[in-house]
Structure 1
Amino acid sequence: MIPSPVLVVTAVPAEADALRPLLDPALVVVEAVGVGPAAAAAGTARLLARRDHRAVISVGIAGGFPGRADVGGTVLTTRTIAADLGAESPDGFLPIEELGFGGSVLEADPVLIAALRAALPQAVAGDVLTLSTVTGTAETTARLAARFPRAVAEAMEGYGVAIAAAGAAVPFAELRTISNPIGPRDRGAWRLADAFAALRAAAPALQRLP
């Protein structure tokens, strides 16, 4: 009996198009669901409702924390964190846990992460932050790095994908390749070609997941 496929969710079509030609659609289904946690959650939930999948992987390009993840490298999430889900206060940011309204942290499936780490030994594992607003200043970079000492990257969809996966009781993981260091916004310094090359190089690992 053929197992149900892995669902790979990307934000934009360019990420999905980079992966599809390298993957057997009977084993891995790749879909772009939109940018941001809300679009990611809604799109992933819709796809999971239509068909059984044995795992969900959030995949795409991300910014890397300097000194923790190199541009052109690959990162794997151990935890996905909604880093801006909470409230401001005179004493600083209050995560949603301190407000008593739920949680901002979801663990990646350890079996999936172990398989990805075995297939991608050069990948860096750590927390991946989900933000609705991409970091663009040195001040915000320093604040996030201090709040999340295990964070290796930030993106905009992982937590949304993870919420949908949790709701459907499907194992979740996140894989990102790094196009730029997190910090002051400088599109001219982004190395998208390197990030897409790393994304394509990681594709075979997605096809060998348990």
Structure 2
Amino acid sequence: MRPLLMVATPGEAQHLRGLGVSVRVSGIGAVNAALATADAVREERPDLVVSVGIGGAYPSSGLTFGDVAFSSEMIYATLGAMGGEGGQEFLDLAALGFELVDGLHNRLPAWDGAREWTRRAQGVLGEVNARAVLGPILTVDTVTGTASGADILERRFPGALVEGMEGSAVAHAARRLGVPALEIRSVSNPVGPRDRAAWRISEALTSLTVALQTVLRN
């Protein structure tokens, strides 16, 4: 297998350069991610595209610093419209009558090897009291910075593990070019009130690297 890792920032890429696979930096956000992924897939012809990085964990996920989330699906969590009584009902693209790729709307399925990779990563992360968990990962346009905002997204998408800003766009671009995709994010912070001083980016990147070293072995 020839995987391609897509990351948003040079800092994340720096930790992953020694894995022996191609690592490309897209820039932050969905537009950057989609355009960079499309270019990379056309140039490198990978068998799998993996959106990789750090992210915030939703309170109900039970995840903490250094835990690693593998996507069962990647969800455009903020792509749609608000409506209903008081304008508080979220309407996704299905409710609005729009379609994305192959009849899909806001939800893009992950590569079918995601469960096996999660199992393999759990074997090594368990040795350092971290976890690997499989579940939905949300893509947002704006980082969630309040407890009420986190609660809204958790109720909108039950079971959501973490949020990032690129995963669905990476998967969308890869899918259009016929390549399966997966998102993997290590927890650097909780989703909710922002306290950058409490983030543990180094710990998250270490766990992410360990997990990837394990799953990328042939």
TM-score (norm 2): 0.88
Residue 80 of structure 1 is matched in structure 2 by: 74
Residue 90 of structure 2 is matched in structure 1 by: 93
- Within 5 A, what are the aligned runs for 1:47-196? 47-68=40-61, 69-89=63-83, 90-102=87-99, 103-111=105-113, 113-121=114-122, 122-196=131-205
Aligned letter for 1:176?
R
Once the two structures are TM-superposed, the CA of residue 145 in structure 1 deviates from its matched residue by 0.8
Residue 3 of structure 2 is matched in structure 1 by: 6
Structure 1, unpaired ranges of 5+: none
Extract structure 1 runs of 4+ deviating beyond 6 A.
Answer: none
Aligned letter for 1:154?
E
Aligned equivalents of 1:159, 1:166: Cα separation in 2: 10
Aligned equivalents of 1:129, 1:46: Cα separation in 2: 23
Once the two structures are TM-superposed, the CA of residue 91 in structure 1 deviates from its matched residue by 4.2
Residue 208 of structure 1 is matched in structure 2 by: 217
Instruction: State the Cα RMSD in Å.
Output: 1.3
Aligned letter for 1:115?
E
CA contact (8 A) 2:38 2:173 kept: yes
Aligned length: 201
Aligned equivalents of 2:136, 2:189: Cα separation in 1: 17
Identity %: 39
TM-score (norm 1): 0.92
Deviates more, 1:84-93 or 1:170-179: 84-93
Aligned letter for 2:108?
L
Once the two structures are TM-superposed, the CA of residue 92 in structure 1 deviates from its matched residue by 1.8
Tell me whether 1:36 sits opposite 2:45 in the alignment. Answer: no
